[in-house]
Amino acid sequence: MIQESSAHPKTLSPVGPMPALAIAAILALLAGPVSAAGQREWSIDFNGVSLHSEDRYVQNGVSREYNETNPGMGISIELTEWNDIVRKSSWTRWIDRAGIDADIKFGFFENSYREDSLYAGAFLHKDYGRGDWKLAPGLGLLLVTGYEDTPEDAPSVFPLPVLGVEVGHKAVKLNVGFVPWGDVDFATVQLQLVPRYW
């Protein structure tokens, strides 16, 4: 088998990170005054690293190392406080009764195959904590792009269920995601900054 170092020429997808960054920045600016009025909680998310159960993958007969440095940026917005935007429905009432919080998430990152990926989806979580500290396990479902020209051979947009947990101070949190299905298990780490508490 041919071995190759982790250096691998990056192939940019037609939709690179800059459009996603621009969208995230605009929404962040718009969310500020809206958040102040509606007391909604939202965070700026910094995508950073991933860990894989295997060190290498094979593409076109060449063995390569997984990219475990995954820079990117996103936004998370707490959905259950959107009562002035989203009319109460059966599913939002169920979420309230169960004490479950729902966040919508979107953003971009450089994936494990050094391709640009966009994501959007939701994260349902149950919060536990004391004072300003929080532990929130949950389950997310994301729509993800950027894996069609990789060994995953995924559709251009595909659903990805993710086990997750948020942990940390209410102003600065880590969101750890774990995907235990598929040929290779992997975990991701995301830093979340909550402007409401700064």
Q: Residue 102 maps to which CATH number?
A: 2.40.160.20
CB-based contacts of 22: which residues, under 8 Å, 6+ apart? none
CA neighbor of 20 nearest in space, from 86, 105, 113, 123: 105
- The residue whose two tokens read 């995230």 is 24
Residue 79 DSSP class: G
User: Domain range spanning residue 132?
Assistant: 15-197
100 located within any domain: yes
Residue 121 lies in a domain: yes
Domain contains 184 = yes
Determine, yes or no, domain membership for 156: yes
pLDDT at 21: 53
State how far the alpha carbon of 61 is from the alpha carbons of 4, 115, 149, 151, 183, in Å: 10, 19, 14, 11, 17
Q: pLDDT band at residue 181, thresholds of 50, 70 and 90?
A: confident
Whether 127 is covered by a domain: the verdict is: yes
Q: What are phi and psi of 17, to 5 degrees?
A: -75, -25
- Taking residues 12-35, report their average pLDDT: 49
Residue 8 lies in a domain: no
SS3 91: helix
Task: Judge whether 136 lies within some domain.
Answer: yes
In a domain, 2, yes or no: no
Lowest mean pLDDT among 19-23, 164-168, 184-188: 19-23
- Whether pLDDT at 2 is above 70: no
Give strand pairing partners of 100.
126
- Check if the beta carbon of residue 107 is closer than 8 Å to that of residue 47: yes
Read off the pTM: 0.78
Mean pLDDT, rounded, of the chain: 81
Report how far residue 150's alpha carbon sits from residue 88's, in angstroms, rounded to the nearest whole number.
Answer: 42
Q: How many domains, the chain?
A: 1
* Alpha helices (H) in 39-98, listed in sequence order: 90-98
66 vs 107: CA distance, rounded Å: 21
Q: Which amino acid is at 97?
A: R
